[in-house]
Structure 1
Amino acid sequence: MGYEFELLRNFATRQGLELRLIVSTGLEESFRLLNEGAADIIAINFEYSEPRQKYAAFSKPINEISTILVQRKRAGMATNFEDLRNAEVTIKRGTIYLDKLMALNDSLDLNIQIVEVDESLESLILKVVENDLAYTVVDEDIALVNATYFDELDVDLSISSPSHVSWAVRKNAPQLLETLNDWIDRIHRTGFQAVLYEKYFLNKKNSYFRNSSAFSSVSGGRISVFDDLIKEGADRLGWDWRLLASLVYKESRFDTSAVSYAGAVGLLQLMPVTLRQFGVVNPSDPRESLSGGVNYLSYLDGFWLERVPDNNERLRFILASYNIGHGHVQDAWRLALKYGKDSGVWSNVAFYLERKSKPEVYRDPLVTSGYAKGHLAVQYVSEIINLYESYKVLVSP
């Protein structure tokens, strides 16, 4: 899933090509893979610069993006350039952000202290969230999507006017460049690119659908119109029906037509591959959606049964796996084992899952599923358990 993935998939499909994705660790590696022939396109937002022309040929502009200051919302935060006088701003090494900040320094004499580090943009943003850094700078799209996940982030201050950004191909691939440019013209003409950008970066309510909720009003001993179906599913799982209702509310707010930004559908927000695997033909049908979701939960229960014998602890592993995938949770489980923690206790595993966005964690040889915003899955588990505790007070078993 993702903005660049959907664009690349559309390009590959239209050209009758098989798409193979490489997740690069940085710009230097990207250019190296490109020029070695291991990759054909770098789908990164490149602003044109003379030095970069040495390493690749660049497409027509695929978008227009500003550069954004990322900071925590707080009293006294920077709301204009003058507020950055003598401030320290940490940026990813080798990016165009250095030139942008130096231009600010030159034009306004701000004396911004620029610190370049070899860390990912996501890692720097997370350090701002955790208050380890005051400021970083990223592209507008990256800023917007992270502000969707982290309410405490402010991304309102642009440090540059919007600039055209492009993708890169090898210099010895003129036919690929021509085809890519024709396709870029097409996605702008048809509005496909604009629709995708809206989907991933501008519609915050949609993109954060699975991780936001307000408490539902409860009266008369009922939670939803689907209580009877939920009770049937809970009986199959051996769960308190109010717990399953908490999960359904968290996923869809009891809306059978709900569709997440990632393409998950129905009451229990199953992805297309999961729908097929667990026998759901019509995800808008509440009975089918609940049945498929219960089948998936039952599968996850079986997956964790021997690893986490305690029922209460295992429940949290199941919920986290439902949200982020059991591969990511299993990575955290392995790390807990590696460091001598009791891997059958959720809090021990949650500690490592929360850190799966850090390079030193997701690059550990024991981690097979890679990077993840694991803190969101930990938050997801906590929110469902809290909602369940509220339902227990308000609704009879």
Structure 2
Amino acid sequence: MLAAIVLGVMLSTCSSPPSALERILRTGELKVVTRNTPAAFYYGADEPRGVEYELARGYAQRLGVSLRIYIDEQVFPDLESGKAEIGAASLTPAGARGDGVAFGPGYQEIEPLVIYRRGTPRPRNLADLVGGRLDVVASSAHSALLERLREEEPLLTWVEHTQRSSEELIRRVAAGEIDYTVADSHLFELLRNFYPELRVGFALGPAERLAWALPKGDEELRESIAAYFAEIQATGELKRILDRYYFASSEFDYVGSRAFMRHVGTRLPRYRSYFLEAERSTGVDWRLLAAIAYQESHWDPAAVSPTGVRGMMMLTEHTANMMEVADCNDARSSILGGAHYFLRVRRKVPERIGDPDRTWLAVAAYNLGFGHVEDARIITQMQGASPDRWDEVRARLPLLRDKEWYSRVQRGFAPGEIAVKYVDNVRRYYELLMWLDSHETLTTQQFAPPSSVASGG
């Protein structure tokens, strides 16, 4: 594939200036400008994260070049000047300024939403915004949209901010400091679990699709990117990337989200050092262990299940004895015992299975038992799907309740749908904890990015 791209570029540029794609292949480096937002790119506690980062990394790997991604709010000027070859920053064509950029294929549909706080009157149209405090980011697609809409509602006013991000304005609505803001739907989905008091009033404008911005006139680069997105859509990789980030908000639960955020502030700080100790001891991400513990006990070391299982990690008597946990109600002992048991289960999952599939199969096994998960993998294979893909096994786990299927595997009946819900919940808590942890990192210390990632212009 790469050889064909290189040959095609060389043939097309024998008598013309080198294209952006040829420069990328010759230098061995892809330069991408992005923005520091939860929807695009941010530094996690231990590695870069974000949908745009993962997409850009995949494209660089497809070309066989290294990725240099850096943060700069001036995305379009950087493309026009040649400083960057791609702008991957949750962009839409409506947000473009001037005629110096083009766009690749759309990959995710979004719409601008009016956001308000629960307990206050819901705005249903432009007239309802009149008299309230509406704040938006200055020189944004949202401010431009409001300018156009003022023709429909001349009394409409708003405040524009040059130093505040959309995320900060969402937080201010949740805190009751302002009445409304406008946020793109994908950003709201990512943040709604952190601010469960927020609600959607109405869609301010039509739906659009996110896309990468490119230097205008560079058709070879555009065609190469279009081929990349067509490939990852066909293989399901695009869906898997989006699912990793948006899964946490796929089934929003107001009561559950409020309780989780409350417990993050009141309970987690008491036990965080134990989770970190368990990570050092096992190598398992402390946030994953904390997510499992929250699903098991809501971080309550005195919790008791209806079946009599006790403690932070809800270890059975057999498992506690195996892990040499003398007191299941002792938070530190339970966390360390649960972490080592999870590691033991994870090691049983075939090494050929990569993450995140291996992790979610192990979480399911922690809940249901490794043998039953293996049975579900066998059923998955019987049905012609991949037993190494969590999404495929997830779809078959409920069949362990169906006699037609459980009679054909070794360990028989099991409530597989419970394991599905268990893993779904752990995934949501894990994603929320990763974002909270990365946000804390960004706001409390200087972060040196990995060598493949640049943080400045």
**1:373 matched to which residue of 2?**
none
User: 2:359 is matched by which residue type in structure 1?
Assistant: V
1:111-130 C-alpha deviation (Å, 9 max, x unpaired): 23243332222222222222
Distance 1:227 1:98 in 2: 60
Contact 1:69 1:138 in 2 (8 A): yes
Q: Distance in 1 between matches of 2:336 and 2:180?
A: 36
Q: Using CA pairs under 8 Å that are at least 6 residues apart, name the structure with larger relative contact order, 1 or 2.
A: 2
- Tell me by how many angstroms 1:264 deviates: 8.7
CA distance in 2, matches of 1:71, 1:245: 42
- Alpha-carbon contact 1:266-1:286 (below 8 Å) kept: no
1-structure distance, mates of 2:91, 2:109: 10
CA–CA separation in structure 1 for the residues paired with 2:338 and 2:332: 10
3-state DSSP of counterpart to 1:145: helix
Contact map agreement 1:188 1:194 (CA 8 A) in 2: yes
Provide the rounded CA distance (Å) in 1 between the counterparts of 2:201 and 2:175: 19
Query: What pairs up with 1:100-139 in 2 under 5 angstroms?
Result: 100-139=145-184
Counterpart residue number, 1:179: 224
1:200 matched to 2:279? The reply is no
| Unaligned stretches of 5+ residues in structure 1 | 270-281, 288-322, 329-352, 371-397
Q: Secondary structure of the residue that 2:89 maps to in structure 1? A: strand
1-structure distance, mates of 2:54, 2:228: 14
* Map 1:153-302 → 2, pairs under 5 A: 153-155=198-200, 157-171=202-216, 173-201=218-246, 204=249, 210=291, 213=295, 215=298, 218-219=305-306, 222-223=309-310, 224-230=314-320, 241-243=330-332, 245=334, 265=359
Match of 2:398 in 1: none
Deviation of the 1:150 alpha carbon: 2.1
Contact 2:103/2:214 (<8 A) preserved: yes
Larger Rg: 2
Cα deviation for residue 7 of structure 1 reads 1.9
Equivalent in the alignment of 1:367:
446
Greater Cα offset, 142-151 or 71-80: 71-80
> Per the alignment, in what secondary structure is the counterpart of residue 160 of structure 2?
strand
Equivalent residues of 2:309, 2:316 under 8 A apart: no
Counterpart code for 2:109:
E
Among candidates 115, 137, 141, match of residue 70 of structure 1: 115
Give the letter for the 2:447 counterpart: T
Question: Identity of counterpart residues, as a percentage?
Answer: 19
Query: 3-state DSSP class of the match of 2:205?
Result: coil
Deviation at 1:220, TM superposition (A): 6.7
TM-score (norm: length of structure 2): 0.50
Distance 1:167 1:60, change over 3 A: same
Q: Please report how far the alpha carbon of residue 20 of structure 1 lies from its aligned counterpart in structure 2 after TM superposition.
A: 2.8
Kept in 2, the 8 Å contact 1:73–1:154? The answer is yes
1:313-332 to structure 2, matched below 5 A, reads none
Residues 311-343 of structure 1: CA deviation (Å, up to 9, x unaligned): xxxxxxxxxxxx659x97xxxxxxxxxxxxxxx
Deviation at 1:142, TM superposition (A): 0.5
For the 8 Å contact 2:174–2:198, the answer to whether it is kept is yes
- 1:354-393 CA distances to partner (integer Å, 9 max, x unpaired)? 6x66xxx45xxx52269xxxxxxxxxxxxxxxxxxxxxxx
C-alpha deviation, 1:205, in angstroms: 5.7
2:128 counterpart of 1:83: yes
- When residues 88 and 176 of structure 1 are mapped into structure 2, their CA distance, relative to the original with a 3 A threshold, is same
Change (3 A) 1:265 1:185: closer
Kept in 2, the 8 Å contact 1:147–1:155? The answer is no
Note if contact 2:134-2:181 (Cα within 8 Å) is conserved in structure 1. Answer: yes
- With over 3 angstroms needed to count, the CA separation of the structure-2 counterparts of 1:245 and 1:201, relative to structure 1, is same
Shift of residue 145, structure 1, vs aligned partner:
0.7
Cα distance in 2 for partners of 1:78, 1:89 equals 11
Alignment length (residue pairs): 285
Alpha-carbon distance, 1:42 to partner:
1.0
1:17: which partner in 2? 65
1:17 counterpart letter in structure 2 = V
2:105 is aligned, of 37, 54, 60, to 60
Residues 84, 110 of structure 1: 8 Å contact kept: no
Which of 39, 52, 57 aligns to 1:4? It is 52
Evaluate the alpha carbon distance shift between residue 174 and residue 220 of structure 1 in structure 2; reply closer, same or farther with a 3 A threshold.
Answer: closer
Tell me the CA shift for residue 179 of structure 1.
0.7
1:393 aligns with none
After the TM superposition, which of the residue ranges 106-115 and 174-183 deviates more from structure 2? Answer: 106-115
What SS does the corresponding residue of 1:71 show, helix, strand or coil?
strand
Please report how far the alpha carbon of residue 96 of structure 1 lies from its aligned counterpart in structure 2 after TM superposition. 0.5
Q: Which amino acid letter does the alignment assign opposite residue 145 of structure 1?
A: L
Judged with a 3 Å threshold, the aligned counterparts in structure 2 of structure 1 residues 15 and 81 are, in CA distance, closer, same or farther, namely: same
Question: Retained in 2: the 8 A contact 1:90–1:137?
Answer: yes
Matches of 2:367 and 2:150 in 1, distance apart? 55
How many angstroms apart in 2 are the aligned matches of 1:230 and 1:199?
Answer: 32
Question: What's 2:143 paired with?
Answer: 98
Deviation string 1:134-180 (CA, Å, 9 cap, x unpaired) is 22212111111111332112135211110233211233644222211
Q: What's the CA shift for 1:54?
A: 3.4
Stretches of structure 2 lacking an aligned partner (at least 5 in a row): 1-48, 258-287, 347-354, 371-432, 450-457
Amino acid at match of 2:446: V
Which residue is 2:87 aligned to? 42
Give the conservation status (yes or no) of the 8 Å contact 2:325–2:333.
no
Separation (CA, whole Å) in 2 of partners of 1:31 and 1:38:
10
In structure 2, relative to structure 1, the CA distance for the partners of 1:244 and 1:262 (3 Å cut) is farther
Opposite residue 186 of structure 1, the aligned amino acid is E
User: For residues 23-38 of structure 1, what are the structure 2 equivalents within 5 Å?
Assistant: 23-24=71-72, 26=73, 28=74, 30-38=75-83
SS at match of 2:109: strand
The answer as to whether partners of 2:101 and 2:213 remain within 8 angstroms in 1 is yes
Quick check: 2:315–2:338 contact (8 Å CA) kept in 1?
no
